[in-house]
Amino acid sequence: MDLIPKPDQIVSAAANVAHKMLYGGLADLRPMPRTLIDEGVLREVYHYRPRASAREHGDPVLLVTPLAAPAICFDLRRGCSLVEHLVEAGRPTYLVEYGEVSFANRGLGMEHWVDEVVPRAIEEVSAHAGGRPVHVVGWSLGGIFALLTAADRPDLPIGSLTSVGAPVDVTQVPLVAPLRPFLGVTGERAGLVTQSYRLMGGLPKPLVKRAFQLSSFNKLVTKPIALAAKLDDADFLAQVEAVDRFTAKMIAYPGRTFGQLYHRLLKGNQLASGSVTMDDREIRLADVTAPLLAFAGAGDGIAPVGCVRPIVDLVTGVDDLRFEIVPGGHLGMLTGRAARGTTWRIIDEWIDAHSSAAADRPTPGARATSAATRKNAASRKTAAGRSAATKRTAAAAATAAATRATTRKATATKATPTKPAARKATAKKAAVGKPAKAPARSASRTTIGANPARRYGSAGSRTLAPKKR
């Protein structure tokens, strides 16, 4: 609003305030409809149902949720939902989330997500989509899990990787850098942080919420002023409501996982060295071979550009790499109002460029519409054709019999038509209704990974120079 509001601004502001008071808010927070297709310990894989007027086609997209954040990060609100955007484009869209973390999950470490949750989700999505390769999109720590999984399991059917705001070099995070010299100053075993998260079984939801809010402290302080200045902007107010709901639904960290993140990634900064230590092995980012698209947010306070950019030099096994800087903060770059024309557009281009050769054929969307279903449908069609042909043959035979009877009555001295001729005429009529031969089943798709030499071109490649206008 202007310093001295115009009449139309006053009317809009009054309408927004009335709508919020009467209906509880301006944002359309309806979730996109989805179906659970697989579940396990802290693993829920969902398939977002396509619209009635749309038909799924192409390779599936799997959205990987980070720890502590609710899955609505990908489905923030109608109009600012990456899920809604993908579904409306007809892409088979899936998501893996983890549910509520309890004290009973305190013994789960990062290995649970890298060895079981993300690989199983990729395999289930590929099978559900008819065996197609999967385009994995991970936000924040979800992007780190996706990268580590791809490095550790090159056999997985991954068509491409997209990391959005994945923190690599934590020394570049303004909130963390000043504290790093004091981390573990009393020793790893006796440190206050270590003893605290072990006692609590992890990092509780209230602390996760406060940490996320502090990452954008300036926005938190200026929020009342921004709301007053934008009181006539319904879309801005709706976005604030959606972000507030997202922040209120933060999830706790499991104790052991938080300990690993704290000691290995935060204090040890292992990702910046190119490898992460698991209990029984070391995972190197250089072992990632899938095409990689990496995003950094220009206004991101959790994973700023300097924190994300080192990924370019660490994934040396990737032949096709694209690094993009887009507007927005840590959440805004994913589902902010500007993401519609920046992040989402680039993701669309990336997936289209790395889709499988069979992407133009409709995707089954569920195991029920697999080859067995098509075979049953073909059988029913053939049976229906045969039934119709039988009816038409019987009708033709009845007509021929009536004709013969009339002929015998009118001219008793004439010979009746020969049986071969009648059979020939009947057969000719019956041939009209003969069912078409059931179409042969399509040839099996090429096994994923059968052509390891296949590479894709990239407009970004490894150059970080800005695009020429």
Which CATH number characterizes residue 102's domain?
Answer: 3.40.50.1820
Q: Is the pLDDT assigned to residue 51 strictly greater than 60?
A: yes
DSSP letter assigned to residue 138 = E
Q: In this predicted structure, what is the pLDDT of residue 368?
A: 38
Q: Is 370 helix (H, G, I), strand (E, B) or coil?
A: coil
Q: What count of other Cβ atoms lies within 10 Å of the Cβ of residue 155?
A: 9
**pLDDT, tens only, 270-290:** 999 999 998 889 999 999 999
Q: Is residue 58 part of a domain?
A: yes
Q: What is the average pLDDT across 162-179?
A: 80
Q: Indicate if 349 and 376 belong to the same structural domain.
A: no
Whether 262 is in a domain gets the answer yes
- pLDDT the model gives residue 25: 86
- State the pLDDT at residue 212: 53
311-345 confidence digits (pLDDT tens): 999 999 999 999 999 999 999 999 999 999 999 99
Give the end of a domain, one of 353, 387, 420. 353
Tell whether 402 is covered by a domain.
yes
The enclosing H or E element of 163 equals strand 158-164
Would you say residue 178 lies in a domain?
Answer: yes
- 424 and 308, same domain (yes or no): no
Query: Same domain, yes or no, for 284 and 401?
Result: no
Same domain for 333 and 424, yes or no, is no
Cβ proximity of 251 and 66 under 8 Å: no
Listed residues 294, 318, 353: the one ending a domain? 353
* Residue 13 resides in a domain: no
Residue 197 counted as domain residue: yes
For residue 242, pLDDT beyond 70: yes
DSSP 213-262: HHTTHHHHHHHHHHHHHTTT-HHHHHHHHHHHHHHHT--PEEHHHHHHII
Does 344 share its domain with 375? no
Q: Is residue 179 part of a domain?
A: yes
Task: List Cα–Cα distances, 71 to 32, 122, 150, 220, 439, in angstroms.
Answer: 12, 17, 21, 22, 43
- The closest alpha carbon to 145, from 111, 178, 107, belongs to 111
284 & 334 share domain:
yes
pLDDT at residue 455, as a whole number: 40
pTM for the complete prediction? Answer: 0.70
- Token couple for 383: 């049976």
Q: Which amino acid is at 78?
A: R
Same-domain status, 300 and 397? no
What is the share, in percent, of the chain residues with pLDDT greater than 90?
44
Tell me the range of 177-181, 349-353, 383-387 where mean pLDDT is highest.
349-353
Same domain, 176 and 89: yes
pLDDT at 206: 55
Note whether 127 and 269 are same-domain residues: yes
Round to whole Å and give the CA distance between 449 and 294.
23
Query: Domain containing 274: what range?
Result: 31-204+252-353
For residues 260 and 294, membership in a common domain is answered with: yes
pLDDT digit string, tens, across residues 86-102: 999 999 999 999 988 77
Any idea how long the chain is?
Answer: 469
CA-atom Rg of the chain in angstroms: 31
Model pLDDT, residue 230: 83
Point out the domain boundary residue: 328, 353, 378: 353
**Number of folded domains in the chain?**
2
Residue in 38, 80, 90 with CA at minimum distance from that of residue 59: 90
Q: Examine the domain organization and report whether 397 and 290 are in the same domain.
A: no
The answer to the question of residue 246 being in a domain is no
C-beta of residue 333 within 8 angstroms of C-beta of residue 188: no
Same structural domain, 343 and 400: no
